[in-house]
Chain A
Amino acid sequence: DQQVKQNSPSLSVQEGRISILNCDYTNSMFDYFLWYKKYPAEGPTFLISISSIKDKNEDGRFTVFLNKSAKHLSLHIVPSQPGDSAVYFCAASDDYKLSFGAGTTVTVRA
């Protein structure tokens, strides 16, 4: 059963514009949410996270929004840069086990 879903497999955005990545989850026990970035042939690297007691967390160009009632979170990247081209995974946990979405491939066009 897919508890974390990223329904957009790909996203193309122009350099300087905003990238918005979406993620939905089904397990109401999840209390911590993370975004990872992954380049080809590398492991996922942590980007930003948010606890279920918050609805927004910001770190530089990256902001994560959490809507608990809708079981939805999003990642905003602004402005998008060429180095942001990668696969982005949404993950959720209620303890130590991370449940991942299938990923969204972001391509930033010059």
Chain B
Amino acid sequence: NAGVTQTPKFRVLKTGQSMTLLCAQDMNHEYMYWYRQDPGMGLRLIHYSVGEGTTAKGEVPDGYNVSRLKKQNFLLGLESAAPSQTSVYFCASSYGEKGEQYFGPGTRLTVT
């Protein structure tokens, strides 16, 4: 049981490049989330999903797109990376309304 995994762990992009971060969970969780963590701050919600084929905007969605084609995967895309998107990105998943959120190990993204 791997829990929540994220690919890649580190990435450096140049301004304007695109990339996709992959989150996978093997716990059959309905709910999945993408957060970003900036220095000196807690995590902030970017997008979330309540089930396969559904996505919704969180607190800071601008500049990101997401897709959940399969229940176990939640993809976060950056179409045109900007230096302001330099951050650590965390994926999480949860079961039911009362379930805990389980976090992945994070992806450190640097945009130069």
- Specify whether A and B are partners: no
